[in-house]
Amino acid sequence: MAIRLKRKSIILKTMQVGFSVLASRLLGMAREIIMINFLGVTRVADAFVMAWRIPNSLRKIFAEGSLNAAFVPTFISEYKKDGIEAANSLMAATQLVIQGFLLILCLFIFIKAEFVLRLIAPGWFINPAVTAEHIALVIYLTRIVVFLILAFSTSALLGGALNSVGRFTVPASSQIVLNVCFILYILIGIQFHLSVVYLAYAMILNGIILVTMHIIAYRSAGFSFSRPTPQAWHAFKTVLYKFIPCSISGGALIINTFVDQSFATYISAAGSVTLVYYANSFMTIPNSVFANAFSTVLLPQCSQIACYARKRLSFYLFEATKFIAWLTIPTILFMSFFAKELFETTLFSKNFTMDSVKIASTLLIIFTAGLFFISLNKIILQMFYACHKTMLPALICLGGATCNIVLNMLFLKPFGIYGIPLATTIASGFQLLLYIIGLKKHLNFSVYTKQTSTFLGKYLLQLCCFLIPAYLFFKAAQMLSAHYLSERAVHIIFHTFILWFWVMPLFLLVMYAIYKTRKLFGIRLYFIGAQKRSSKNCINKC
């Protein structure tokens, strides 16, 4: 039986998911730091990033999110209704079709690798600075890593089955295991001066490890693979019907990332694709921790509410918007202010020069400006799904992607590499506008524009009261340190990883003060409120 979560439970579960994602992201960041020392910001790094982008993007569609969103509810339904044999049969039918399709797709990419690269990296084929050897390397790497999508997809389906019976250990820990293995491969590559081709083959080993872990766990849970029955094929049609539009809307951010890196190939400077990749990766950390975790917990709650009180979803969206703004606005300001330090203290080395740090930090600032739009788009998408609407958000996502492409074409020449994140940020805002119109026109959602503006005004005033003193404190610390401490000590405190050991606690302390004083500024947040209030009172007092 479905159980509705209380407000505190929603936040607690969001924190649990968020901390898990954060741990995985931090480990992934450690992997990227080590990989910079292996590949640097070079044409070789660009080649690896672009080759890896193909299976990684396909994974978001055929192995995570969209496929699981369509498969897991149907798998649970078959398991509860007709028992484990029906679930086994559905698993076999889904694996046969999905893996068969992906195998054909992988073979096509393997055979037509140059054609595919001309589509996703067109700039390299008209850029005189890009040599034939570079193109040949990208093609070779693509042909190696493309088959990873088979491992990703197989494991995701098996992981979905495990999650459906409460076995979360292997699906949750697999990414950590893979990151640890990946770091080990890179260290071996650095130690023995191996080529990037070695790293591509090492990733295939990661795929084998991933599948092996999930198959063992799947069999241990009592599942197996049964011959698909007519009932299983009928259930699979339901999965397919949900999956097609979900794959478009769920892959919106992936599509935009693909677009960004494709346009980066038109930049003559070596390492452009890599710089865009790293800047975007830093921006997606808070998006994953805040929006993805919150939306994951919010979806089942909103799905239940949509069954008996759909009008209440307007209130949930309103409060979710306030909550996302409450989290992302100070994060945007923090990441923008410390953008240079983020790259300087993590990636700066002989392979990632200060020029690279400056470019990447500017890219991050522009990307981060759209963090609120991107995060809220994720929440609104769940509202559509809760109301069983999949086609409309898919069309809106295509509209957002089209806007991103057009803006990239317009901005690339006048702004260079900086036009890429600018296009993405504006396109995300445009997509949010389309989402709001769609909710209002097609689902009769109420849009509390006045109340939202009132909340933002109060919140910005509160932020000024706390962030400005924090900024002055940081500047004063810099001035006093430069006056009383040695140059080496100043460098260690402000330009190495030591910086985060005192800046992050300071930022968290400021956020705690903002949280504790929110009522003094007339700010009400439903999801972290202490008093029980009706939705009508919350809207009036926001």
Domain that holds residue 414: 252-447
* Amino acid (1-letter code) at residue 179: N
8 A C-beta contact, residue 393 and residue 387: no
**Rounded CA gap, 246 and 349, in Å?**
41
| Residue 64 shares a structural domain with residue 209 | yes
Structure tokens, 434: 């389309």
For residue 288, being part of any structural domain is answered with yes
8 A C-beta contact, residue 25 and residue 335: no
Sequence-ordered alpha helix ranges (H) in 287-390: 293-308, 312-337, 339-344, 354-368, 371-386
| Residue 195 shares a structural domain with residue 68 | yes
For residue 4, being part of any structural domain is answered with no
**Rounded CA gap, 149 and 160, in Å?**
16
Report the length, in residues, of the chain.
Answer: 542
| Residue 83 shares a structural domain with residue 181 | yes
| Residue 139 shares a structural domain with residue 212 | yes
pLDDT of 15: 61
Angle, helices 272-286/312-337, rounded to nearest 10 degrees: 130
Q: Which of 222, 250, 278 is a domain's end point? A: 250
| Residue 106 shares a structural domain with residue 239 | yes
pTM: 0.82
pLDDT of 303: 66
| Residue 95 shares a structural domain with residue 125 | yes
- In the chain (542 residues long), the average pLDDT of successive 10-residue segments reads 49 60 74 86 91 84 69 80 90 93 95 93 89 94 95 89 75 81 92 92 94 94 90 89 72 73 88 91 80 67 72 89 93 96 91 93 96 90 79 88 94 95 96 94 90 95 96 95 93 93 94 94 81 50 52
| Residue 473 shares a structural domain with residue 432 | no
For residue 25, being part of any structural domain is answered with no
Q: Which of 208, 229, 250 is a domain's end point? A: 250
**Rounded CA gap, 418 and 276, in Å?**
9
Give the CB-side neighbour count of residue 375, counting CA atoms within 13 A: 29
**Rounded CA gap, 320 and 525, in Å?**
9
| Cβ-based neighbour number of residue 73 at 10 Å | 17
For residue 3, being part of any structural domain is answered with no
| Residue 413 shares a structural domain with residue 472 | no
For the chain, how many structural domains are there in total? 3
| Residue 256 shares a structural domain with residue 211 | no
| Residue 398 shares a structural domain with residue 328 | yes
For residue 30, being part of any structural domain is answered with no
Q: Which of 250, 268, 302 is a domain's end point? A: 250
8 A C-beta contact, residue 253 and residue 247: no
| DSSP string of 420-464, one letter each residue | HHHHHHHHHHHHHHHHHHHHHHHS-----HHHHHHHHHHHHHHHH
For residue 188, being part of any structural domain is answered with yes
For residue 442, being part of any structural domain is answered with yes
| Residue 346 shares a structural domain with residue 492 | no
| Residue 307 shares a structural domain with residue 196 | no
